[in-house]
Structure 1
Amino acid sequence: MTADDFRHELAAMFEAAADAGRGAIVVRADDLHRGVGGYPGDGHRMPLCCNVMHAEMVVGVDEVLSAPPSGQGASVAIKYVLPRPGANGD
């Protein structure tokens, strides 16, 4: 499981929500990780999953709705605004 795996799954979630006409999507780390696989389980990569989620945020646009004190965990939830900047050549 790599950062690219999480990025690709997150991009697929963005695309599905945008195709459905939604203006935003809330992504929880546990849902994203389940989509990639390996969670729950001993070999989970939750810190990497959360790092990718945070890296995909656009400052001043997207919003962290919940997170544990460490900032990394299954309960991390981020609201991403759609469409994503650059999605249509922006």
Structure 2
Amino acid sequence: MVAVDHYRQELRSLMDRAATQGAIDILINAGELCRTLRGGITATDACCKAMREELKPGDIVLIEPGAGVGTTIRYLLPRPSR
């Protein structure tokens, strides 16, 4: 099973690439993020936890974290320093 840290790294990588390309936000869906790593949608809890932990003021939860693979969050870019 894929650990929360792996999802966190992938999430931050997606954000960094989008910010580098000049995006002001990025829409992340848990199902899509889960499928980027070999854990697939069976690791939904770890994936959603990583997404929740990355929430910062100004980010918008479009579909609640209880929705599993449907969880969708709009993160503002660039991210504050970690």
CA RMSD of aligned residues (A): 1.5
Q: Which residue of 2 aligns with 1:62?
A: 59
1:45 aligns with 2:43: yes
* Unaligned 5+ runs, structure 1: none
Moved over 2 A (4+): none
CA–CA distance in structure 2, aligned partners of residues 36 and 55 of structure 1: 18
Q: Which residue of 2 aligns with 1:85?
A: 80
- Offset at 1:48? 1.3
- Offset at 1:38? 2.3
Q: Which has the larger radius of gyration?
A: 1
User: CA contact under 8 A between 1:46 and 1:72: conserved in structure 2?
Assistant: no
The answer to which structure has the higher helix fraction is 2
Identity of aligned residues (%): 33
TM-score by length of 2: 0.89
- Offset at 1:36? 1.5
* Unaligned 5+ runs, structure 2: none
User: CA contact under 8 A between 1:47 and 1:72: conserved in structure 2?
Assistant: no
Q: Which residue of 1 aligns with 2:8?
A: 7
